[in-house]
Amino acid sequence: MKVENNQKAPEFIINDVYGNSISLEQFKGKKIHLIFYRFAGCPFCNLRFHQINQMTELYKNNNTILISVYESSAENMKVFLADEKFYSIMIPNPDSSLYKKYELERSKWGLFKFLLFGGGLAKAKDGMKLYKNKVKMDGHTDRLEAEFLIDETGKVINAHYNKVQGDSLPIDVIKAFVQKK
């Protein structure tokens, strides 16, 4: 069953890209923006990742943790990170266990529709320009992303499952959540 608004976010304990143990529980008292991307070599995801990371100061100034999950290996994610430091906690999840826990879907039609009608080719080109290194595509190309805005008590305020690639949570919705007192 998909995660819904007003329910407790499913707990997890997993290692980040550097081997540190991460759980939602450790961030009680802070807001969380949890994003499930496809894989580190996905140019659409790379574009979105960089858009989200432009809000680093907003997250920091408003007691908000940013967690980014990828279907990639830790090794491939380190190539993606290219020794840059981002505010986001980076989670490799090559076995897709968190994707299953949060009930993320796969859809060839969602990818096809985005490529043909959603400006996917232009966005792929823009996302490719942002890579510092050549990053392998080591996940499911038909994976649909999802984002979850979780309050200080661990309750999901906004569960957003993409219907097609690129159907991300609007930036203004994220900003309103982060800035809410």
Give the HSE-up count for residue 133: Cα atoms under 13 Å, Cβ half-sphere: 14
Q: Is residue 2 part of a domain?
A: no
Q: What is the pLDDT of residue 129?
A: 86
59 domain residue, yes or no: yes
Domain CATH number, residue 137: 3.40.30.10
Count of domains forming the chain: 1
Cβ 82 vs Cβ 133: under 8 Å: yes
What's the rounded mean pLDDT across residues 98-112? 84
DSSP 106: B
Specify if 175 maps to a domain.
yes
Instruction: Assess if residue 4 is contained within a domain.
Output: no
pLDDT tens digits, residue range 19-56? 999 999 999 999 999 999 999 998 888 899 999 999 99
What lies within 8 Å, CB to CB, of 39 at 6+ separation is: 45, 70, 71, 72, 76, 137, 138, 139, 140, 143
At 87, the pLDDT band (50, 70, 90 cuts) reads: very high
Q: Does residue 62 fall inside a structural domain?
A: yes
Is 57 a domain residue?
yes
Cα–Cα dist 21/38, whole Å: 21
- The reply to whether 94 falls in a domain is yes
Q: pLDDT tens digits, residue range 115-167?
A: 666 666 677 777 778 778 889 889 888 899 999 999 999 999 999 999 887 78
If one counts every other C-beta atom within 10 angstroms of the C-beta of residue 38, the result is 28
What average pLDDT does range 86-95 have in this prediction?
A: 97
The residue segments making up the domain with residue 173 are 13-179
Strands (E) across the chain are located at 13-15, 21-23, 31-36, 64-70, 89-92, 146-150, 156-161
Give the H or E element holding residue 104: none
pLDDT for residue 111 is more than 70: no
Residue 5 lies in a domain: no
